[in-house]
Chain A
């Protein structure tokens, strides 16, 4: 199977969201494979390495969702930011609301591949592929974003914490289209971190990446959102670290407590991109660095 076999596929560009949901529901009920194509930067790469389709009948139908108005656009309503699932990283990088209110997303977007990928890749695709190394998902985890999905049954909202179930698996149903993500933003100017660690300074899948947003009042964190890539089968939410760091004044945090919480929150492995030990060390190190920047004496 390869990109050059694309000519074998049938591709449609549905008119609107109900149209997509209808086609999807029908095909899913008949177990017919269907692909929602946004930027294609994940799906096309997968086609290069997959074995040939046994029969032409088994070929998926490709639905282009990249231009659906319902999936595009970035809007700010009070403190709530809504990003269409088909908005690209470049859209985010250029959006005034993102720049002003969610700078971590802009910073994350700069680390996605190179500009060509940023101009095509979308959060919807990143979420649907659900790689534990995905940068967009990691940033959304830190914002505790809510997924807005749509199907013939109507709209459903999935809080991030109940999204992921296992490696590349989620609670989103097969016939549900990701329409947008919504973020309840921290106040403007709140501290944040985006730290992606790879073999080289760009174009490498992270060994570890940390996304963080915080709200600080005096010596206490009243909100702490964290996401970490490549340290577990799913994007790590670092819930023990969150609990620890918001449970006491920053000055009472110790390096040992933080490290122990990180260790309990991650389960890295050895693979061709890094070692378990390095990932564990790196995870502790970047979390400590963020909390240090926030005022913890660690």
Chain B
């Protein structure tokens, strides 16, 4: 209703929804420029070796081709690795496109054909002839596990495995009941709908305006400035809409590098878009091997936890993620040992993908907990409750809040868990086996430094901006909602701007920290504006608020009202007019309360309950019901929040049953590099999903009390499905995805 303010927590429609469904929302490849040229990437056909010959003459002969960039004619570039290191870079030497003749992975860009149209560039690219001096490559994690080594830390946010507690191996050996198994998961690619693309506008003064698909405009700006030796103020990066990213836009990808390089060399505007196939030529979730061994007393008290993992990485960087640490936050156990290693392969460096590390670690841990529950003849949920921990044993700290018990209770109640028959293969419906499984999920609740600017005009319109992004998560909506609620304005009168380096800086959109970080800055900057308005309202001649203090008024309907007598009010417009302020402007930067936060472990939690039906003849698994109960602090925007969890659960279904990027190890190349063969769930695979947000108050995580929801929804889903499949069939599949053939 116009005139009524939206409150934090309401479920409103996406403010950018109309723009998206009507095609008004512009993505990186849709921005135009005078005389725009189009680049097409030629990809390496081998996995390792050197470029022997590179013949571009046929491509150059095509009418409309302007240039073919290769390592042989590239311009001078930054020398040191540190210039190439972006905010999300792990330890090592970042990949440098077209730097020299070395081939370090299959699909690596070896040339960029630049032409007047996309079609010409694409056609000419097919005429570039490359021969290679190949060297033997290794791409199979299973074959390289023995050579895995300790990972170099260095990636932001990475926590190496904690020190051991007690003596886990000894306790395991002595334990009355134990399980010990290896779990494997394949490489997976992000595959957002929008392929990566960059449009670089070469401005008359030589400055660059870069429309990029990215999860952080500042990251792209810094990277481009460092690599190409430009001043940051010559590089403006804009990214108003992103068609999904899931982590694939955390690091500047080679298309932005190539587009900028071409623009610099040719002094022209250039666009480079990647194909769906080329979306399989950079980061991905690493193939990972894990071992989880659990020992318990006959009553189900955990005595020992061993969690080991080996993830693949490239030869040039140590991609790391937190896979093995999580049990210390979930289950009380005095003896624990964690180990995490990486194995170098001739592949590109993996990259964070939704809930990196946790999604794998919890798959193995929660599968193992399920296995233990059967070994103990104990209900899987009861086992978790019996080992519930109120302290993070890795750091020996309490939690800032942890409503996981409520997740278990509400999720189980809604699902009807108490009706579960404990034995596998006991539940049937027609000719289908029915299985019920559950798992726990966890993700960190983080906050970063962020800044925001707000301008309130005398006509009651508020514009707030921050250089964050909206990768489909609903950032526009959540921020608009926070701003509107603080100044008591209708949503329609508030505009939120993002994705522009001319806005106050914000962190990368990752780690589920955007609402916590940018939301806090937006809240703070709007409160500053509110205070200004209040001062003007008080100062007005004959103001009914003259004696009031800020906490005695409410902002609603474009007015400042006395809380105890709302008829006593001053309109914002009148206050500003009286104060001769046509606009009120504030800019604020907010930091996490590090000292206070350091006393606690801060995390989101979830409990996932799943029903599957399995056609035993064919091994077909249907996920017929999912209940996901989430403790994520305060929910800022109910509808987009629910959508985050729904989408994540769907992805969990894909991870459990369908998704894997298949490598032909002879060629060292991903084979199913398209959406016909790389399967994600279709509509018909997705049935009932119910999302419960468990109330949770937390004043430590940030002033909003919101913990972030981007990632938690996928964690635990694959384990819950695998556990349900076991319950249905009595078959424990320990390598994902659980395809039909594995169930026979």
A residues sitting closer than 8 Å to B (CB atoms) are: 1-2, 4-5, 7-8, 51-52, 197, 199-205, 207, 272-275, 277-278, 281-282, 285-286, 289
Contact B662 A272 (CB under 8 A): yes
Question: B658 at the A/B interface (Cβ < 8 Å)?
Answer: yes
Residues of B668-691 whose CB lies within 8 A of A? 671-672, 676-677, 679, 681-685
| Residue of A272, A286, A289 most packed against chain B (CB within 10 A) | A272
Contact count A vs B, C-beta below 8 Å: 69
By a CB distance below 8 angstroms, the chain A residues around B618 are 197, 282, 285-286
What residues on A are CB-neighbors of B127 within 8 Å?
A: 52
- Given A199-B679, A200-B658, A273-B677, A207:B122 Cβ within 8 A: no
Interface centre among B618, B676, B681 (most CB of A within 10 A): B618
Is B118 in contact with A201, judged by CB distance below 8 angstroms? Answer: no
5 closest Cβ pairs, A-B complex: A278-B741, A201-B684, A52-B126, A4-B119, A285-B617
Nearest Cβ on chain B to A226's Cβ, whole angstroms: 17
Q: Could you say which of A2, A203, A207, A281 contacts B123, with CB atoms under 8 Å apart?
A: A2
Task: Give chain B's interface residues, CB within 8 Å of chain A.
Answer: 118-119, 122-123, 126-127, 617-620, 622, 657-658, 662, 671-672, 676-677, 679, 681-685, 739-741, 744
Contact A197 B740 (CB under 8 A): yes
**In the complex, which residues of chain B have a beta carbon less than 8 angstroms from the beta carbon of A8?**
123
A283–B620 Cα distance when bound, in Å, is 14
| Docked complex Cα distance between A8 and B619 (Å) | 47
Q: List 4 additional A-B contacts (Cβ < 8 Å) besides A201-B684, A282-B740.
A: A200-B682, A201-B685, A278-B744, A289-B617
Q: A4–B118 contact, CB under 8 A? A: yes
Q: Give A180 Cβ to nearest chain B Cβ, in Å.
A: 29
Query: Distance in Å from the Cβ of B736 to the closest Cβ of chain A?
Result: 13
Q: Which of B123, B620, B658, B740 contacts A4 (CB 8 A)?
A: B123
A274 and B741 within 8 A (CB): yes
Report if A200-B741 is in contact (Cβ < 8 Å); known contacts: A2-B126, A272-B677: no
CB distance from B723 to the nearest CB of A (A): 21
Cα distance A281–B126 in the bound complex, in angstroms: 42
Contact of A278 among B658, B662, B683, B740 (CB under 8 A): B740
Q: CA separation between A7 and B118, bound complex, in Å?
A: 13
Pick the most buried of A8, A51, A197: most chain B CB atoms within 10 A of its CB: A197
Chain A residue contacts of B740, Cβ below 8 A: 197, 199, 207, 274, 278, 282
Q: Please indicate which of the listed interface residues B127, B622, B684, B741 has the most CB atoms of chain A within 10 Å of its own CB.
A: B741
Inter-chain CA distance A70–B622, complex, in Å, is 44
Contacts A200-B679, A286-B618 given: A275-B741 contact, CB under 8 Å? yes
B741 touches A2 (CB 8 A): no
* Distance of B731 from chain A, by nearest CB (Å): 14
A275's nearest neighbour on chain B, judged by CB, is B741
C-alpha gap A204/B678 in the complex (Å): 10
Chain A residues lying within 8 Å of B671, measured Cβ to Cβ, are: 272
Given known pairs A278-B740, A281-B744, the reply for A204 and B679 (CB within 8 Å) is yes
- Judging by beta carbons under 8 Å apart, are A5 and B681 in contact? no
Closest B residue to A205 using CB positions? B676
Distance of B663 from chain A, by nearest CB (Å): 10
Min C-beta distance of A91 to chain B, whole Å? 23
Chain B residues with Cβ below 8 Å from A4 are 118-119, 122-123
27 A–B contacts, CB within 8 A, in A order: A2-B122, A2-B123, A2-B126, A5-B119, A8-B123, A52-B123, A52-B126, A197-B620, A197-B740, A199-B679, A200-B658, A200-B681, A201-B684, A202-B682, A203-B682, A205-B676, A205-B677, A207-B740, A272-B672, A274-B739, A274-B740, A274-B741, A275-B741, A277-B741, A281-B744, A282-B618, A289-B617
